[in-house]
Chains A and B, each alone.
Chain A
Amino acid sequence: DAGVIQSPRHEVTEMGQEVTLRCKPISGHDYLFWYRQTMMRGLELLIYFNNNVPIDDSGMPEDRFSAKMPNASFSTLKIQPSEPRDSAVYFCASSSGQAPFFGPGTRLTVL
């Protein structure tokens, strides 16, 4: 298995632009998590899904952030419009009821 796949690995964009981060979970995993890592706030949960349904989105910072999981093998995290304070590493993780497996992350820089 290739593990959790995230794309792009790096994204540099300008303030105000739309950013879409993508995640392919491990096949057979029915839980998917989006985390954000910053120096100031550490690792924070943004949202998680079970069987493609959002269960807890209380960590989503504001309406500029949205996440979808249209099927069991794909999820997106969208930021529109992006702001410099959104600069962070965004991790996707998936689980089948055991400890989550993390992807390599997407490093987002908003100028």
Chain B
Amino acid sequence: AQSVTQLGSHVSVSEGALVLLRCNYSSSVPPYLFWYVQYPNQGLQLLLKYTTGATLVKGINGFEAEFKKSETSFHLTKPSAHMSDAAEYFCAVSPDTGRRALTFGSGTRLQVQP
């Protein structure tokens, strides 16, 4: 079985500040990990994914995440927040890249203050 825990249902940062969204996972097999972003009234858009290889993954819009097996974590970061980053972010885990269903965390809503 797999599960994801996202710490903090709401995170607020100032524009230009560091963004850190936390994700911890549980998996009995090597995990594939994903971050998706959801803007209001829209579907989910893939930010980045970890499959194998390099543990630091770079995604779109300046986001990156680091897979830390010892900490079972996959935290999402961005050095400088922009107003357009305000959205809900979901971490997900799967036993495969796209051939199995994803298990999602409960989401973190990011607010960016001017």
Where the two chains meet, the residues of A that have a C-beta atom closer than 8 Å to any C-beta of B are: 4, 31, 33, 42-43, 45, 48, 50, 56, 91, 93, 95-105
Contacts and interface: CB of A to CB of B under 8 A. Distances in A.
Nearest to B34: A99
Nearest to B35: A99
B31 interface: no
B44 to A, nearest CB: 4
A102 B44 CA distance: 6
8 tightest Cβ-Cβ pairs between the two chains A and B: A95-B98, A102-B43, A43-B104, A102-B44, A45-B101, A104-B43, A98-B98, A97-B98
Contact of B43 (A56, A91, A95, A96): A91
B46 A101 contact: yes
The size class of the interface chain B forms with chain A is: 10 to 19
Contact of A99 (B43, B90, B97): B97
Nearest to B43: A102
B45 A102 contact: yes
Interface of B: 34, 36, 42-46, 49, 90, 97-99, 101-107
Nearest to B102: A100
A97 B101 contact: no
A102 B102 CA distance: 12
B101 A99 contact: no
B41 to A, nearest CB: 8
A42 B101 contact: no
B46 A42 contact: no
A95 B49 contact: no
Contacts of B102: 33, 45, 100
